[in-house]
Chain A
Amino acid sequence: MSIKVVEGKNIVRDYHVGGGLFRAQRTVHAVKGVSFSVDKGKTLAIVGESGCGKSTLARIITLVDPATSGELLIDGNKVDIARGGLTKEMRRKVQIVFQNPYGSLNPRQKIGDVLGEPLLINTGKPAEERRDLAMKMLKKVGLGPEHYNRYPHMFSGGQRQRIAIARALMLNPSLLVLDEPVSALDLSVQAQVLNLLADLQDEFQLTYVFISHDLSVVRYIADDVMVMYFGEAVEYGSREEVFSDPKHSYTKTLFAATPRADVASIKARLAKKKAAA
C-alpha cells in the first residue's frame, strides 16, 4: 500500500480585487475545485498556459497561500494555514524551487549562508553542524566546498538552479514543489538539472509536484499528469493515459502546438511547403 504524501480535495482559491471608491469589488476564481493526490516517491506534473492557476495551486501546496475552501492533507494530516497556523515541522516537510534562479537567490548572501538559513530558522542546530550539512548538500547537487563562500552572481544559471534545489533540500523535506525549474535554462543544462532531480528523488524518496508548460519535459519526468485550463483540472491521469489518449480539447490543442523535432514531421512540413509553392 502506497503512502499518500499530499492530497487535495476540491481546492478553491478566490482572489478579491479592486473594490475602491470608484470600482465595485471583483472576484477572480484562480483555482476552481481541484482534487489530486501524489504517492511517496512519485511525480505529479501540472501543465497549463500562463494564468491558468497552476502557480496559485503550487502556492497552496507549499502552504504559502491559504485555500478559500477545500481540504489539503500532507502526510495524512489536515492542514489549514488560514486557521490553525503552521508548525515548524510542517514547514520542513514542504519546500519549493522557483522558476527564475536569477531572482530567487539573495545577491548579497553567500551560498553557505543561503543553505544554512533554513536550518538557522527552523532548527536549533549549532553553526558548526549547519556548516557541515551545507557542505554535504553542495556535494550532493554537484557543486564543491570551494563554492561555499561565493555569491550568487558568480554562478551560471544551471548552477544557481542547483543551489536553489540544495536550499530546498536542506530541511530534508518529503515533498518538493518545482515551479517551472528548467524553463529558464538551455537545453544542455536542462538535461543536467533533470538528471539531478531524478537522482535526488531516488536517493531521498522525494515526492515532486512539477509545474511546467513544456510537454516534452513532462513526458520525461512525470508519473501522473494534470492539465489545467482556466482554474480547472480538465484532464488528470497517468502519463500514459494522458499522452496516448488526450480527452479534453485543450489538451489536444496543447499537443498539437508542441513543436516536434523528429525526421518524419520535418519531411511532412517540407512536402507541404513544396506543394504550396
Chain B
Amino acid sequence: MALLDIKNLVVEFQTAAGMFRAVDGVSLHVDEREVLAIVGESGSGKSVSMLAVMGLLPWTAKVTADRMSFNGRDLLKLSPAERRKIVGKDMSMIFQEPMASLNPCFTVGFQIEEVLRFHMGMDGAQRRERAIELLRQVGIPEPAERLNSFPHQMSGGQCQRVMIAIAIACNPKLLIADEPTTALDVTIQKQILDLLVSLQAKYGMGLIMITHNMGVVAETADRVIVQYKGRKMEEADVLSLFESPKSNYTRALLSALPENAVGDRLPTVSDMLFEPAPSGAAA
C-alpha cells in the first residue's frame, strides 16, 4: 500500500477577485523507499499541494480531495491536534530558504531538541545526545560545539543541513523537500543532494523532491510528476521521462535547458506548440 495516497486534490484560495484554483485535480502516490520528484515552474502549484498535505496552508485556502491518506490514516478527517502529532514526526518537510526558516533567536541545538521534546518525550540528556548524533549524520564538523551556534553564525549550506537534521530527528516515514537547493551554490547543492539521497536509502524513507531544476530531477528521482498551472501534465519514471517525454510541455521544458540548445537560440516554452495532455494520462 502506498505511503502517501492522494486522489483528485483541489486547493483554492479566496481572493478579492473570487476563488483562485492553485491546484486542480492532482493525484499522486509515494511508496516507502521511493524518490518522487515534482517539477514545474513557479505558480504550477507544486509547493501548495505539498503544503496542503502537511496542513500548513493559511485559512483562506480551501482543500478538497477524494482521498488523502498517509500511512493508512485519512488526513482529511484528522483534528488539528491529531495532525500535529503526525506532522514533524512521521512526515516532515524541508523548506527552500534555510536562513529564513530557522528561528534567528534560538540556537540550532534548541531548535533540534524542540522536535525531540515534543514528539519523542526524551529527557534533557537524551535529547542532547540525539541532537549531537543528528548533526554528525548530516555532516557538520564538531557537532557538540555547533549545538550552541545561532543560525546567523552558519553558512547557507550548514543551515540547510540543520534543517535536514530537524526533519529527520524523529525518523520520519516521508520527507518532503521543497526546493532544498535553490538558494545554494552548485558545489553545495551536490553535497546536500547526496546527503538527502543517502539518508533516504539508509532509513528507507519516502522522499518527495519539489524542484524546477531538471538536473536535480535527473540526479535524484525514481519517478517524476510534471505540473503546469495546477494540473498534472505527465507522470513517468525518470528514465522514460528524459528519453521519451509524452506531453508537449515536458518536451518544451527539456528543450529549454541551455545544454540542449541547438544553434544560437534556445527554444522557449511558448515557442512550442502547446497542447496539454489529458491530466493523469500515465497514472
Binding site for B on A (CB under 8 A): 49-50, 157, 186-192, 194-195, 198, 213-217, 219-221, 253-254, 256-263, 265-267, 269-270, 273, 276-277
A276 partner, pick from B193, B201, B270, beta carbons under 8 A = B201
| B186–A257 touching, CB < 8 Å | yes
Q: Is the CB of A220 within 8 A of B266?
A: yes
Given contacts A187-B253, A269-B219, contact A261 B201 (CB under 8 A): no
The answer to whether B269 has its CB under 8 Å from any CB of chain A is yes
Chain A nearest CB, measured from B98 CB (Å) = 14
Whether A258 and B41, one on each chain, are in contact in the complex, defined by CB atoms closer than 8 angstroms, is: no
Which 5 pairs show the lowest CB-CB distances between chains A and B?
A259-B215, A257-B190, A188-B269, A220-B258, A186-B41
**Shortest distance between the CB of A96 and any CB in chain B (Å):** 21
Interface residues of B (CB under 8 A from A): 41-42, 156, 185-190, 193, 201, 212-219, 238-239, 242-243, 252-254, 256-259, 261, 264-270
B189 to chain A: closest residue by CB: A257
Inter-chain contact count A-B, CB under 8 Å? 107
- Known A188-B252, A215-B186, A266-B242: A261·B41 in contact at CB below 8 Å: no
Closest A residue to B221 using CB positions = A266
20 A–B pairs (Cβ distance < 8 Å), ordered by A:
A49-B185, A49-B187, A50-B185, A188-B269, A194-B258, A195-B265, A195-B266, A195-B268, A213-B185, A213-B186, A216-B259, A220-B258, A254-B187, A257-B189, A258-B186, A259-B213, A261-B215, A263-B242, A269-B218, A270-B239
C-alpha spacing A267/B193, complex, angstroms: 18
Residues of chain B contacted by A253 (CB below 8 angstroms): 187
* Pick from A192, A219, A256, A270: contact of B259, CB under 8 Å: A219
In the complex the two chains form, is A187's CB within 8 Å of B243's CB?
no
Q: Determine if B41 and A189 form an interchain contact, defined as CB atoms under 8 angstroms apart.
A: yes
Q: Is the beta-carbon distance between B216 and A259 smaller than 8 angstroms?
A: yes
Bound CA–CA A191/B266 (angstroms)? 6
Hey, which chain B residues are within 8 Å of A213, CB to CB?
185-186
Residues of B within 8 A of A263 (CB): 239, 242-243
- Chain B residues with CB under 8 A of A214: 186
Per the bound structure, the CA–CA distance linking A58 and B189 in Å amounts to: 24
Residue in B185, B189, B214, B265 whose CB lies within 8 Å of A187: B214
Q: Are A198 and B213 touching (Cβ within 8 A)?
A: no
Complex Cα spacing A12 to B266, Å = 37
User: Is B258 in contact with A219, judged by CB distance below 8 angstroms?
Assistant: yes
Q: Do the beta carbons of A187 and B219 come within 8 Å of each other?
A: no
Give the Cβ gap from B182 to chain A, nearest Cβ, in Å.
9
Q: Which residue of A lies closest to B198 (CB)?
A: A276
Closest residue to B241 on the A side, CB-wise?
A266
Given contacts A188-B269, A259-B219, A261-B218, 14 further A-B contacts (CB under 8 A): A187-B214, A187-B256, A188-B253, A190-B258, A191-B269, A214-B186, A215-B186, A220-B259, A220-B266, A258-B215, A259-B186, A259-B189, A259-B215, A270-B239
What's the minimum C-beta distance from B214 to chain A, rounded to whole angstroms? 5
Q: How far is the CB of A168 from chain B (nearest CB, A)?
A: 21
> Are A191 and B264 CB-contacts (below 8 A) given A215-B186, A262-B242?
no
- Does B212 lie within 8 Å of A261, measured CB to CB? no
Give the distance in Å from the alpha carbon of A270 to the alpha carbon of B190 in the complex: 17
Residue ID in chain B nearest A198 by CB atoms: B264
